[in-house]
A = this chain, B = another copy of it.
Amino acid sequence: MIQLDELKSKIMESDGNSLTAYVELFRPFDLANCVEKLDQTEQLKLMGIVPPPISAEILEYLEPVLQYRILYHLDETLASQVLNEMSSDVVADMMLAIHRYQAEKLLNHLPEDYRKKVQTLMTFPEHTAGSLATVDYIAARSSWTIEQTLQHFRKIGHEAEITSYVYVTGHKGELLGVVSLKELILSEPKTQISKIVTQDVIYVPASMEQEEAAELLSRYDLVALPVIDAQNRLIGVITVDDLIDVIREEATEDIQKLGGSQPLTDTYFKSSVFQLYRKRIVWLLVLFVAEAYTGSVLRHYEETLSEVIALAFFIPLLIGTGGNTGTQTVSTLVRALAVGEVHFRDILKVIRKEVTTGLMTGASISLIACMRAWFLGVEWNIGLVVGITCMTIVIWASFVAAILPLILHKLKADPAVISGPFITTLVDGTGLIIYFTIAKIILHL
């Protein structure tokens, strides 16, 4: 593993060749982690010495603002060399993160043709397929032979990011199909490319949600996903590593939402305390206000409660168990919805499954609940109330937690809004009503 101190001293003493040789021992990702921690003088010295392709690879793993800060301070010729070596999707992201005026100045470093492509990429809103696309792919005309295509490949292959596939386009740039590099090598050089092209290629419109694109990629086991505009023209290709990031980020967001907070926009340590506060307080307050009605419920049953104070002993236990059951169901279903295993049309099947499971878990827990009441030494009829309530609350929680995420999904809202804390809060209040209603009936209060 690369050591920060070692890199620092290599930079200070370096004669050029030895620094490059040293840097080449490590991977761009690990180097970037170190470069982040250097001071600016060191960063600039490093980038001034190692070859532009290596600088570009390191830069790609840094935050956009840091990328810009380094490029801005580099010698202009060098900066434009490095910029040209970077992936177009990374360049576009950086341009969007910095000031418009700064971006324009930097864009002038790019060759006109490339600049226009990057500017197109910059027009796509965040979280869409278009915003993930790179233009560093290789395109061929359908009239070319395999030999011509391979010649073209040899000419521009060095600069391309996506090289396992060649995209075949028509006169207006419309996507006609795809040929793998393997097929190019296995076919006769004189064959026309249109003879071996796979026309039935899976592509996505630039406006598609990135989540949906990731779903397609994973369903069909693809490694690259072409992106087209409204006129069917190929505007870029998404690489699998970017979609892996999407899959991981979406899972992180869902986990945070299910935990009852709004998802963080940054990593944990990069989020400030104030950001954490802001993302959490909204739901905490909403749930607090919702939970507050448990106070009104209890106040309504104040008389019952003061008559049989023992009923209070079981309040946390009963509503807690309901909340736990609901959280189990909700998290299973929200995830099943997110990965496309469950749909709204399955609602009856889901209800049947969850309520049956609730019946079984409820029965088991009720048994223990009666025993617990017996151990606490309360009267037998209170034990009966606790047992029946337990059963009812578990089934109720299963039912509510089964239907709410499905309904939200149907309404095109995010099912993960129905978080563990949400369902717990909902079951708390309704559970108390169930509890006291059963108590009043059985204890004749």
Residues of A at the B interface (CB closer than 8 Å) are: 25, 27, 29, 150, 153-154, 157-158, 163-164, 180-182, 185-186, 200, 202, 217-223, 239-241, 244-245, 247-248, 251-252, 254-256, 258-261, 264, 267-269, 273-274, 276-277, 280-281, 283-285, 287-289, 291-292, 294-296, 298-299, 302, 305-306, 309, 312-317, 319-321, 323-325, 327-336, 339, 341-342, 346, 349, 353, 356-357, 360-361, 364-365, 368-369, 372, 376, 419-421, 424-425, 428-429, 432
Residues in chain B near residue A334, CB distance under 8 A: 255
Residues in chain B near residue A240, CB distance under 8 A: 223, 240, 244
Alpha-carbon separation in the docked complex, A164 to B325 (Å): 48
A292 touches B306 (CB 8 A): no
Contact pick for A288, options B259, B291, B321, CB 8 Å: B321
Contact pick for A309, options B241, B256, B305, B331, CB 8 Å: B305
* Nearest CB on B from A355, distance (A): 10
B252 touches A255 (CB 8 A): no
Determine which residue in A182, A200, A331 has the highest number of CB atoms from chain B within 10 A of its CB, and name it. Answer: A331
The 3 closest A-B pairs by CB, nearest first: A259-B331, A251-B251, A221-B241
Contact pick for A182, options B157, B274, B365, B421, CB 8 Å: B157
Residues in chain B near residue A283, CB distance under 8 A: 324, 328
Contact pick for A298, options B287, B312, B368, CB 8 Å: B312
B269 touches A341 (CB 8 A): yes
Residues in chain B near residue A376, CB distance under 8 A: 295-296, 299
Alpha-carbon separation in the docked complex, A144 to B404 (Å): 63
Alpha-carbon separation in the docked complex, A1 to B322 (Å): 42
Determine which residue in A302, A332, A432 has the highest number of CB atoms from chain B within 10 A of its CB, and name it. Answer: A332
Alpha-carbon separation in the docked complex, A219 to B244 (Å): 10
B276 touches A339 (CB 8 A): no
Interface of A is mostly: helix
* Nearest CB on B from A72, distance (A): 26
Determine which residue in A157, A292, A336 has the highest number of CB atoms from chain B within 10 A of its CB, and name it. Answer: A292
Residues in chain B near residue A360, CB distance under 8 A: 273-274, 277, 281
Residues in chain B near residue A158, CB distance under 8 A: 186
Residues in chain B near residue A336, CB distance under 8 A: 267-268
5 A–B pairs (Cβ distance < 8 Å), ordered by A: A153-B185, A244-B244, A264-B332, A280-B325, A284-B328
A284 touches B321 (CB 8 A): yes
Residues in chain B near residue A200, CB distance under 8 A: 25, 27
Contact pick for A299, options B248, B313, B328, CB 8 Å: B313
Residues in chain B near residue A259, CB distance under 8 A: 258, 327-332, 420
Residues in chain B near residue A264, CB distance under 8 A: 332
A277 touches B361 (CB 8 A): yes
With contacts A181-B181, A255-B254, A420-B420 known, is A285 near B368, CB below 8 A? yes
B421 touches A260 (CB 8 A): no
A324 touches B164 (CB 8 A): no
Residues in chain B near residue A324, CB distance under 8 A: 260, 283-284, 287-288, 421, 424-425
Residues in chain B near residue A361, CB distance under 8 A: 277, 280-281, 284
Residues in chain B near residue A339, CB distance under 8 A: 248, 252
Residues in chain B near residue A313, CB distance under 8 A: 294-295, 298-299
Residues in chain B near residue A331, CB distance under 8 A: 255-256, 258-261
Residues in chain B near residue A268, CB distance under 8 A: 332-333, 336, 341-342
Residues in chain B near residue A274, CB distance under 8 A: 360
A163 touches B180 (CB 8 A): yes
